[in-house]
Amino acid sequence: MNIFLHELRANRKTTGIWIGSISAVIILYMSVFPIVTKDPATFEKMLRSNPAFNSFIASISNIGSILGFYSFVFSFILLLGAIQAMNLGASILSKEIRDKTADFLLTKPVSRVKIMTSKLLASLVLLLATNIACYAVALIMAFAVKTNDFDEKIFFLITATLFLVQLIFCALGVIISVIIQKLRSVLPISLGSVFAFFFISMFISTDKDDLIRFISPFKYFDTGYIINHSSYEIQYLIAEAVFIILAVAASYIIYSKKDIHAV
Amino acid sequence: MNVIEIKNLTKNYGKSRGIEDISFNVEDREVFGFIGPNGAGKSTTIRTLLGLIYPASGAATIFGKSCIDNPEIRKDIGYLPSEVFYYDKMRVIDLLKYSASFYNKDCTKRINELAEIMDLNLKKRIDDLSFGNKKKVGIVQGLLHEPKLIILDEPTSGLDPLMQQRFFELLVQENNKGATIFFSSHILSEVQKMCHRVAFIKEGKIIKLEKMSTLKESAYKKVKVEAKNHIEKDYFKMSGVNNLEVNGNIANFIFNGNINSVMKKITDLELYNVWVDDPDLEEIFLHYYAKED
């Protein structure tokens, strides 16, 4: 419990800054919606003419609706959220070694399994807090700018994919950080990985039920599908669960056997 | 009863560093010195003992158990690393409370006592502290839960002489209360004051394990004599004289035995100057090597 609380305290500032910046992006983009509704056709044409944007909205039929527009905005929120989650996952264990505080923590009467569990739980809570805060901000903004009523369940389902995608990147960060003997800097690794997956996702079409979609977590939850079916595609939920379980289990094993070297 | 048992412990890092087939025991209530130059394997041994690194072969146990399989035995261990690093953004008192929270007992009183003895400001942030003050945090952190075994890796580096003295007094008190103390150093004189036994380690191997009382009996002296006249090559050839070097009217050697016999020999010479010093560790090592050859 003490490690868990220590991690929450140590990471509250960073998480606060992330919540602030994601909220700012939500507010900024969503406040553009009233202008879009005046001439949705031109806006859609503009987006479709840009291949990068087109990939985000390919499966969305009505960009002029609040859910359609939110889906578009949400691609950028996902990108930010993925960076946050991977930073957190990659640093939560490695920072003890990098800052040389591992000698302090790992000579206390606790097992490495318990240390890791506490840290993973703390990460989970920090990500949950981010999601709750961002959901609240997004919902308030949606109500403030809406021109028609919208399905709140779908709105929730779309927003909840932030958490689901963050879990994948957090697990990816954790496994990378335990494999690398001494991770000197987290940001290049997390930015690099997240942007790599993001760019890959731009070239993957969600129209087809293609195997290639499994490559990028950004394509696991297609907003077009969510709007039409009001649910997620089960095979991607399973893929996510399998990846997270494998990554976390491997991390436990590697971390427990790792040599913690002196400075 | 042995508090620490190390049996055939081996750990390699590539070719050069590491430890090889190290075995020794530390008894209950003993103050045990672990002496060797930098890079000899002192820290590697200690880190293996604490379960920070895994041995390639052999075993290291504390209170009969391995730290790796039984992390809970660390509640009776206080560890001060050679270089102390803590969470920079925390205040000293918050760090010490965090440390205390691992031991399921109220350590507030002991924290305040220790901070007073070591003259440590508890209100400051860790990153505002100097190296010496961080070391003091390390000392308080290592002793606040009144451990039965205190493991210290180069404990006095960074401490001024006054603080070193207070720290040693503190250790003597803990030892009198029943704590076993294991500490490493590259300075023999630091260890001499309080150790019961010392082990010498060089290049990953234990080269000598001796009772302090024996070491003191055979008090080593480094002698340099500058005579007016040429000194015969064999003039100082006598029992107890080692590493003898004679160069014209100057003779250097390490002496070990009854000091009177060599003093007589020296006074027989017409002297310009004479130096009698405690030899440094390296010279004692050289002496040990010479003996083994």
One DSSP character per residue, B138-203 reads HHHHHHTT--SEEEEESTTTT--HHHHHHHHHHHHHHHHHT-EEEEEES-HHHHHTT-SEEEEEET
Report the predicted TM-score, pTM, of the whole model to 2 decimal places: 0.86
Minimal C-alpha gap between A105 and chain B (Å): 8
B54: contact with A, CB 8 A cutoff: yes
Most B CBs within 10 Å: which of A104, A105, A119, A253, as the mutation test of the B interface?
A104
The answer to whether A259 contacts B52, with C-beta atoms less than 8 Å apart, is yes
Residue A135: phi and psi, rounded to 5, are -65, -45
Q: Measured between beta carbons, which residues in chain A are less than 8 angstroms from residue B74?
A: 107-109
Most A CBs within 10 Å: which of B12, B73, B87, as the mutation test of the A interface?
B87
Tell me how far apart the alpha carbons of residues B159 and B136 are, in angstroms, rounded to a whole number.
8
Minimal C-alpha gap between B77 and chain A (Å): 8
Tell me how far apart the alpha carbons of residues A84 and A166 are, in angstroms, rounded to a whole number.
8
The answer to whether A107 contacts B54, with C-beta atoms less than 8 Å apart, is no
Q: Measured between beta carbons, which residues in chain B are less than 8 angstroms from residue A108?
A: 74, 99, 102
Chain B residue at shortest CA distance from A96: B87
Q: What one-letter code names the amino acid at A128?
A: L
Write the pLDDT tens digit of every residue in B195-245: 899 898 888 888 888 887 776 666 678 889 999 888 888 888 888 888 888
Q: Minimal CA–CA distance to A132: which of A5, A233, A22, A6? A: A22
In tens digits, chain A (263 residues) has pLDDT values of 899 999 999 999 999 999 999 999 999 999 999 888 888 888 888 888 877 777 777 667 777 888 989 988 898 999 999 999 999 999 999 999 888 899 999 999 999 999 999 999 999 999 999 999 999 999 999 999 988 888 999 999 999 999 999 999 999 999 999 998 888 889 999 999 999 999 888 877 666 667 788 888 998 998 888 988 999 999 999 999 999 999 999 999 999 999 888 75
The answer to whether A109 contacts B83, with C-beta atoms less than 8 Å apart, is no
Q: Minimal CA–CA distance to B49: which of B210, B209, B183, B188? A: B183
